[in-house]
Structure 1
Amino acid sequence: MTVHQIGTRQTAFHSARLASERGAAEKRAFAPSQPSNLSSFEFVTSAVPRIRQFEAWRANFAPIFDIGSERDTTSGFIGRQVTWDLGCFMFSHITTDPLQFRSVTRHLHWEPLDHFVLSVLLSGEAYTQTPASKFRCTAGVTQVHAMGRSFHGSLTASELLMLFVPRDFCPRVSQALSAAEFTTLEGGMARLFHDYMAGLANQLPFVQQADLPALVEATRAMILACVSPSADNALTASHPIAVTLLDRAQKIIQSRLFDPSLGAETLERELGVSRSRLYRMFEPFGGVKHYIQHRRLLDAHAALANPSDQRRILDLAEQRCFSDGTEFSRAFKREFGYSPTDVRIGRRSNFPCRQAPALEESDPAARLGTMLRRLHG
C-alpha cells in the first residue's frame, strides 16, 4: 500500500468517525464525560447550531489560542474535547476540523496563563512557527509549546492529546520543558511518552481520586525521562532576553523566600529593570506579590509533607514571612483547598493539588479557561 493510499484511508476514516460523532452528540454541547471519579467535562460542537459551531469552538480555546476566524461558518465545524482535572495537571483528548492558531500573549494580557503544553498527535498534522524557529509535527510525534510565548501555526483535521503542565509544578520539570519548548520529541523515549499519553486517555475515565498522587508522580517521571534527552540538545539554543530575565527573577525569589524585605523593589534593583517591565514579566503569574506568596506557600507545603520536619505550623508560617498562623492558614487554604493540618497528618499528598473549581456551576464555554487558570494557583 502506498503512502498516498494510507493517507487517503486515514482521512476517510477520520471523516467517517467525526461524522458519527456529530450524529451521536447532536443534542449535547457541554456535558459530563463518561462516568469518572475525576473532575471532567466534555464539549461537542455538534449540539450547537451549525452557524455558531466554529465560534463556540473558538471561544472554548480562547485562553490558549486565538483560532483564526477567516472561514465560512455556515458549513459548521466538527470538534470534540474531553478534559480531566488531574490536580497538578490538566489532560485533554481533542478531535477537531482544520484550523489556524496564534498565541494570545500580545493582545489578551488579562489572561494569566503561562503553562507548558505537551501535545501528542494521534492523527493529522500540525505546523508551528515562532520568532526563532519553526517545526512540523505528524501523527505519532510529541510537540512542546509554551503558552506564554509568541507563536502561530495551523492544524489539519486531527485527533490529539494535550497535557497542560504549570511552570511552577516542579523545578526539574520546568527546567527540562523550558529547554525543550517549541521542539518535537524524538527517539525511543519519545515513543514511550506517546504510548503513556495514549494509555492515560484510555484509563482516565476509570481512575479514582485516591490514585491521583501516584498518577502525578508517574507523569512527572515520564516527562523527565522523555523530555530531558531532547532538552539537552536545546539548551545551547539562545532564548529571548525576557525569558532569561524571568529565569533570573525566579531564582532570586527562590533563594530569598524567607526574606521579609523581598518584593518588587528588590527585584527591580537586582535585575536592573523598570517597574513596568517587571510587572509585565510577572503578569502571567498574577503579579509579583502573588507569585512570591505562591512560592512561599509551595515551600511550606513541602515542609509540612516532610515527616522529618516536625516544627510547629506557626514556626513554618513565620519563617515564610506570614505575620501570624491565622493569616497563613487562610492563605494556604485559598491556595490549595485544604488546611496545613491536612498535609501534616497525611490526608493530602506531597504534591500540592489546588482546589478544583465548581465546573458545573460555571459558564460551559469558560470551563477550560477556569481549569487552566486554577493551575497557576
Structure 2
Amino acid sequence: MWDLGPIALTHIKTNELNFASVRGHTRRDPLDHWAVTLVLRGTTETSISCRTFRGGAGVVQVHPLGGSFEGSVTDSEMLILFVPRDFCPEVARVLGAIEFSTIDTGMGQLLSDFLLGLARRLANLEVTDLGNLAAATKAMILACASPTADRIQEAEEPISMVLLERARRLLQTKLFDADFRIDGVARELGVSRTRLYRLFEPYGGVAHYLQRRRLIDAHAVLADPCDQRLIVDIAEQRCFTDGAEFSRAFRREFGYTPSDVRAGIHGGLPNRPATDLAANSPEERFGILLRKLHG
C-alpha cells in the first residue's frame, strides 16, 4: 500500500472470494472513493441492479465504493488506485460517467501500462515527487477514460513514457527478427512513424536503439565461456549480414572487437577486490560501488 498524497495505490493478491458493498455500510463508514482496478492475474465479475460486467487481466475497471454492488474474484493479483471524489472535479465527472464498467480500449491499455509503470517505480519516488505524480495521474485518467484532443495533449509526457516503455519491450522481441520494419512496430504500438521516431530521438532513432540492443546481447553471448559458436553465427542470429559489418559495429559501440571478448581480453568477470562499503556513509556507497566496478 502506498500513500501518494491525494490518491493511494494498493497491490493485492487474493484467493478466490466474494465481495460486496452495500449502502447500509457506507452510511456507517462513508468511504465513497473510486477504485480504479487493474487485474494483473485472474478475473472479476461485478453485479449491480441492472447488469453484470466482467474484467480480466490487463483491463482497467471502475467501481464507486459508495455504490451498491456485489461480485466475485478468482485467485487473483491486482493493482487498485483509490481516487477520492474531491481529487479533481473534472476527474469526478469522468469517473462518474463510466463507473461500474471497464475501460477496454486502446487508451485504456495506456492507462493499464501507466499503472504498471507507476507500481514499478514507487520505490524510487521521493515525497517531493508526489505533486507531479498526482498531476500525471490526473492527466492520464482524463486522457484515457474520456479522451479529447486537449486532454491527450495535457497527458503528453506520461503517455510518451508509457509508449516508450511499451516500445522497448516490443523491440526486445525483435533482436533476432531479420524482417523487422519500423512501420510494423509503429502499427503494433498504434502510433505514427514520426511519433515513434520522436520517442527514440534521444537514442539516435529506432534502428540505432535496436542495433545497440543486439550488440549488447551479442557481447553477453561472446563473454559466456560455455557458448563457443562461431562469431559469424552469433552475428547472423542478431541480423547482421556478415561478420565484417558486425565487427565494425561492435568496435564502434564498445571500442574493441568481438574477438577480444571471446579471448577474455574484455567482457569477462574480473576478480575485483572486496570493498568495505559499510565503512563509508550511505550517500557515498553507490558512487564507490560503481567506481569499483571499473577496477
TM-score (norm 2): 0.49
Higher relative contact order (CA 8 A, sep 6+): 1
Bigger radius of gyration, 1 or 2? 2
